[in-house]
A and B are shown apart, each in its own frame.
Chain A
């Protein structure tokens, strides 16, 4: 039994890392009041670009930086369209997904070497491998926590840092204020436009990094639609985590865990509940949304960004 749980945890953690990166990124974006539905496109672009860079340069560091650059640039486009040009956030985000997934697919068939008829599919490149912490990784139950790839280890620092930054620093205070009430933030001397650009871009960089984890660590290599809809799952996870980076981990583990459990159940021959299990996070998210609306106090306690999706113009009421 303990072995089973230990192995489930191992699978869960590997499946969850990319989700945590993207969820923390989107939490920061949404905290500034910007809804970015372009996650799927940014993750795919992060995955394809990082794999290509890793394949040709052999440098995983360059690969990761490339994923962040590409994700950041796409998110910057979203910020420009929605903040400066005041475009509809839903349409702009969907356009980012459309363009990003199209371009990723295109590049996946053009960036490869001639001998593979320019395809990236099927190539083997450098990848992040798990590094076991001697001793600790052998522990029952918690062992897998100490047998992860470097990108996952970085999360051990990133998540607490993201939480601390959001709730304990001056900049985090300004970010939360902008997403909650941009007019107030503006009146208190916070540059709303700057904050929205900055955190939308940072969100895109983290999302791109999440994509890189897929093609460099979780399922090394490039394959068409490598994300399998993770970009959309993240939108649900953000609500599930109630816009708190610390809770993002729980949500990502739950999603990853459901997948892991499902494989086990299928192996055990009980096929029925898989779909219902998979629905659970989405249904929970809807329940959270309804509860937040029903009990306004709950929404305030959570700190859901009240200005999410709303453009802000100073001289227009």
Chain B
């Protein structure tokens, strides 16, 4: 892993950075080196700790352990102001722009070396010069809310250049861009590195690593797992490094003949939160007693896929059927009554209500019916507690009492509780989104076993995962999602990891052509 022998002094060095959030180890002794004129890609799954590491670098978070060196000198970065003084600037994933202000006002916000009454005409003039030089066209006097997302990103980059940043951090900059805009961005970055500036490029897409960077560091679950020269690696290797976990246990998947079709999607289209197309014609079916795995790098439409099926997101075109009945754009309540259960990706934000007791969280699906409540709408607290105790025991949820607020449990136990509730309420289809993300080995194994149990009991399961090992061991078939389209569907017994890697990088399955 040591690769410093022939390179010059790094402009930036982070050593042993550790950051803990309540219940989570976001960064675990992470090292990082950046050299002048180079682009370093920081690759990892969602939640691998990339953004936390960069927020430490720009002074938004304070590390619990570790040291930072800039141009060889030890520094303490307490605030974004300190970072800016060191020439470090970041383009955040959610842009740091004030929509009600002009481009020029945003660019000078927080700058101290301007007169108290800044000459905005002069500022605008300088912005125009920089725009010209780097091909970053934007009207300095326009209001941010009038600009497209791509233009707003240009403003972010202009802001860094205006402030004389030497080290640019770009947090998933292409997520909001069209392919053409992404190419433009690549050019701008190379223009800047040619001038001796350096960039850190956060991404979870392998092809971008190949396109943009000189070096790549791979993070997994808060730890640095690999340092590679981009020229000496391949997307397939990176994919494996990023998602591949050691196979810690073998699960037995009994052969089973699938039954009737439970879920059918026909050419489904949907937009993401920003109104950009996220699903572009997705079709597949899942049958009773079958697990369909959805593979792919996060951000390729997985979240939206789960949300359209569960009624949380509008379908723009296409149809969804459950047990042969059309449920397209039906409200979530109705889809729940069709027997659909959903283990959401965002456990704390969506799947659980932190301030309520474990027992209440477990009852959040069953409370509508007997035996937990009567026909008149009266809850039966004793039965709720009994019900909770039973689930706590069956699913081995570690909680002091059923009355403990669920936010005080560990991530793994919260997930077990959600799993318990959803499986218990499931009558036909279980949608599981990243169900084992961030869990330890024991909890991961428990989750996977439960999913297989559901399959064996005749339910249809949609399993969305970034973890290929998980998909290969649990799913019957695997569909690969890339930019909102299904690249191919393969039987997991016949799938090979190289082929899946290719499809995850956007290459259509040659087998699909055969089928």
Assess A/B contact in the complex (Cβ within 8 A).
Answer: yes
Give me the interface of A with B, judged by CB distance under 8 Å. 168-171, 173-174, 176-177, 180-181, 183-190, 297, 300-301, 303, 306, 314-315
10 tightest Cβ-Cβ pairs between the two chains A and B: A188-B110, A189-B81, A189-B110, A184-B96, A303-B100, A187-B96, A300-B145, A188-B109, A180-B98, A177-B98
| Seed contacts A174-B110, A297-B145; 15 additional CB < 8 Å A-B pairs | A170-B115, A174-B109, A177-B98, A177-B101, A177-B109, A177-B110, A180-B99, A180-B101, A181-B97, A184-B98, A185-B98, A187-B60, A187-B96, A188-B96, A314-B61
Complex: A181 Cα to B110 Cα, angstroms: 13
Which residue of chain A has its CB nearest to the CB of B143? A300
Docked-complex contact A314 and B110, CB < 8 angstroms:
no
Would you give 13 A-B contacts (Cβ < 8 Å), ordered by A? Answer: A170-B108, A173-B109, A176-B101, A177-B110, A180-B98, A183-B96, A186-B60, A187-B80, A187-B90, A188-B80, A188-B110, A189-B84, A315-B60
Complex: A246 Cα to B161 Cα, angstroms: 35
Q: B58 near A: Cβ within 8 Å?
A: yes
Q: B114 near A: Cβ within 8 Å?
A: yes
Q: B304 near A: Cβ within 8 Å?
A: no
Known contacts A181-B98, A184-B98; A168/B58 CB under 8 A: no
Docked-complex contact B80 and A186, CB < 8 angstroms:
yes
What residues of chain B lie closer than 8 Å to A174, measured between beta carbons? 109-110
Q: B249 near A: Cβ within 8 Å?
A: no
Complex: A314 Cα to B56 Cα, angstroms: 12
Docked-complex contact B97 and A184, CB < 8 angstroms:
yes
Number of residues on chain B facing chain A (CB within 8 A): 29
B95-148 interface with A by 8 A CB criterion: 96-101, 105, 108-112, 114-118, 143, 145
Docked-complex contact B109 and A190, CB < 8 angstroms:
yes
Docked-complex contact B117 and A168, CB < 8 angstroms:
yes
Docked-complex contact B61 and A315, CB < 8 angstroms:
yes
> Smallest CB–CB gap between B247 and chain A, Å?
34
Among candidates A173, A176, A301, A306, residue contacting B108 with C-beta atoms closer than 8 Å: A173
Which residue of chain A has its CB nearest to the CB of B21? A315
What DSSP secondary structure best describes chain A's contact surface? Answer: helix
Docked-complex contact B98 and A176, CB < 8 angstroms:
yes
Q: B492 near A: Cβ within 8 Å?
A: no
The contact string, 1 if C-beta is below 8 Å from chain A, for chain B 1-28, is 0000000000000000000010000000
> Smallest CB–CB gap between B8 and chain A, Å?
30
Q: B79 near A: Cβ within 8 Å?
A: yes
Complex: A176 Cα to B60 Cα, angstroms: 21
What residues of chain B lie closer than 8 Å to A173, measured between beta carbons? 101, 105, 108-109, 118
Docked-complex contact A171 and B110, CB < 8 angstroms:
no
Q: B92 near A: Cβ within 8 Å?
A: yes
Complex: A315 Cα to B52 Cα, angstroms: 10
Which residue of chain A has its CB nearest to the CB of B114? A170
> Smallest CB–CB gap between B188 and chain A, Å?
21
> Smallest CB–CB gap between A88 and chain B, Å?
16
Which residue of chain B has its CB nearest to the CB of A184? B96
The contact string, 1 if C-beta is below 8 Å from chain A, for chain B 158-190, is 000000000000000000000000000000000
> Smallest CB–CB gap between B292 and chain A, Å?
33
What residues of chain B lie closer than 8 Å to A303, measured between beta carbons? 100
Among candidates B79, B114, B117, B145, residue contacting A189 with C-beta atoms closer than 8 Å: B79
What residues of chain A lie closer than 8 Å to B90, measured between beta carbons? 187
Known contacts A189-B81, A190-B109; A170/B117 CB under 8 A: yes
The contact string, 1 if C-beta is below 8 Å from chain A, for chain B 215-253, is 000000000000000000000000000000000000000
> Smallest CB–CB gap between B157 and chain A, Å?
15
B36-84 interface with A by 8 A CB criterion: 58, 60-61, 79-81, 84
What residues of chain A lie closer than 8 Å to B110, measured between beta carbons? 174, 177, 185, 188-190
Known contacts A176-B100, A314-B60; A185/B117 CB under 8 A: no
What residues of chain B lie closer than 8 Å to A169, measured between beta carbons? 116-118
Which residue of chain A has its CB nearest to the CB of B349? A317
What residues of chain B lie closer than 8 Å to A188, measured between beta carbons? 80, 96, 109-110
Complex: A188 Cα to B90 Cα, angstroms: 10
What residues of chain B lie closer than 8 Å to A171, measured between beta carbons? 116
Complex: A61 Cα to B100 Cα, angstroms: 39
Complex: A207 Cα to B514 Cα, angstroms: 78
Which residue of chain A has its CB nearest to the CB of B19? A315
Complex: A300 Cα to B90 Cα, angstroms: 25
The contact string, 1 if C-beta is below 8 Å from chain A, for chain B 269-284, is 0000000000000000
Docked-complex contact B101 and A189, CB < 8 angstroms:
no
> Smallest CB–CB gap between A178 and chain B, Å?
9
Complex: A173 Cα to B106 Cα, angstroms: 9
> Smallest CB–CB gap between A294 and chain B, Å?
16
> Smallest CB–CB gap between B316 and chain A, Å?
22
Known contacts A174-B110, A189-B79; A300/B100 CB under 8 A: yes
Which residue of chain A has its CB nearest to the CB of B117? A169
What residues of chain B lie closer than 8 Å to A170, measured between beta carbons? 108, 111, 114-118
Most buried by B among A174, A181, A184: A184
Complex: A124 Cα to B84 Cα, angstroms: 59
What residues of chain A lie closer than 8 Å to B92, measured between beta carbons? 187
